[in-house]
Amino acid sequence: MMAAIPTINNKELRAKYNPEGSLLRQIQLRELSILVEFDRVCRNHGIDYWLDSGNLIGAVRHGGFIPWDDDIDVCVLKKDRNKLRKAMHESLNPNYKYSEAGLESKYEYPGLKKKAKHIISRVYDNNASVKRPLKGSSIIVDDNLWLDILFMECGTLATKKFIEKTYGKCLRRVWNTIYDGKIKHILSIIAYPFSVIIKDIISGWCSIFHRDTYVHNYGTTFYSIRNKSDIFPLGEIEFEGLKFKAPHDVDSYLKRIYGNYMEIPPEDKIETHQISDFKVRNI
């Protein structure tokens, strides 16, 4: 594994973006508690998961959260989705809530008369809420703090892109996460059952002939590929002083997705969820 950047740089970055006691640091530590609970349930039920995206970069480069980052992403194999659902319903601490993709959100997207459904499964903290702008709009919404669960399945970038142009767009229109006109919405409702059949056929084909590569489950708009050989057997990595599951070849895994992931991005390229308020309910 590659060495972390010099401690002095991390100190400077933390002082600039997430000093102790700051709003962002409070949110990060609260999110860490969601990850700890998720890890506990998965380990107790023998479910594989691994840190992904910015959290995995942060673990290698900063020993924890990327100083300006404000979310948690974990990956789980799609084949374990039912097992995860059962484990969450049986063992998740009541202070948290497991929310599957397909459930209605508690707010409406701009331009829609109906509530949208979640595309990504999450674990919510029932007692911590944040205010943030709804993606693609200036509307401020209240939401519980969350951890994103990204399901991975066998596939290639070619199959992923093809299915997202058919099934993916139909799904997001039917679930109201995009709205690009009434006609497209109606046509997608009609075409949706057929797109599901196409998706299931291609997904089944990939599970037989492309077992060595993973993509995000069809319906999500993430386009990057993971190699099975980079992930399994899973290892562990230190994140904020605790051990969590991680791909066994973290360097190869991250380089495949991000290239030079050790490079600090310029300030104008840094993105966050622009959280403006954070509240914890006393229990």
Report the Cα–Cα distance between both ends of the chain, in Å, rounded. 41
pLDDT > 60? residue 1: no
Single-letter residue type at 198: I
pLDDT at 138: 66
pLDDT > 80? residue 105: no
pLDDT at 122: 95
As a whole number, mean pLDDT of residues 77-95 equals: 97
CA distance 65 to 51: 11
pLDDT at 133: 76
The residues near 63 (Cβ < 8 Å, ≥ 6 apart) are: 4, 10, 238, 239, 240, 241
- In sequence order, what DSSP letters do the residues of 27-79 get, joined into one string? HHHHHHHHHHHHHHHHHHTT---EE-HHHHHHHHHTSSS-TT----EEEEEGG
Single-letter residue type at 110: P
pLDDT > 80? residue 43: yes
Give the single-character DSSP code of 6: P
Question: Tokens 């075409």 identify what position?
Answer: 191
- Among 44-53, 94-103, 140-149, 211-220, where is mean pLDDT lowest? 140-149
As a whole number, mean pLDDT of residues 21-36 equals: 95
Q: What is the pLDDT of residues 170-213, one digit of tens each?
A: 999 999 888 888 899 999 999 999 999 999 999 999 999 999 99
Q: What is the pLDDT of residues 225-276, one digit of tens each?
A: 999 999 999 999 999 999 999 999 999 999 999 999 998 888 888 877 677 7
Of 219, 213, 215, give the one whose Cα is nearest residue 195. 219
Joined together, the tokens standing for residue 189 give 């409702």
Give the single-character DSSP code of 218: B
pLDDT mean across residues, the chain: 90
Joined together, the tokens standing for residue 269 give 């390229």
CA distance 238 to 72: 15
For helices 81-91 and 23-44, the axis angle rounded to 10 degrees is 100
Q: What is the pLDDT of residues 115-158, one digit of tens each?
A: 788 889 999 999 998 888 766 666 677 788 999 999 999 999 99
Bond prior to 233 in cis (omega within 30° of 0): yes
Q: What is the pLDDT of residues 108-127, one digit of tens each?
A: 666 666 778 888 999 999 99
Domains of the chain plus CATH, in order, are: 7-154+226-280 (3.30.460)
CA distance 237 to 220: 27
pLDDT > 70? residue 3: no
pLDDT at 156: 96
| 169 — pLDDT class (breaks 50, 70, 90) | very high
As a whole number, mean pLDDT of residues 23-27 equals: 92
pLDDT at 5: 44
pLDDT at 6: 43
Joined together, the tokens standing for residue 185 give 């919405």
Check: CB of residue 178 under 8 Å from CB of residue 172: yes
pLDDT at 235: 97
pLDDT at 274: 76
Give the single-character DSSP code of 194: H
Give the single-character DSSP code of 192: H
pLDDT at 113: 63
Q: Is the pTM of this model over 0.75?
A: yes
User: Which tops the pLDDT comparison, 148 or 10?
Assistant: 148
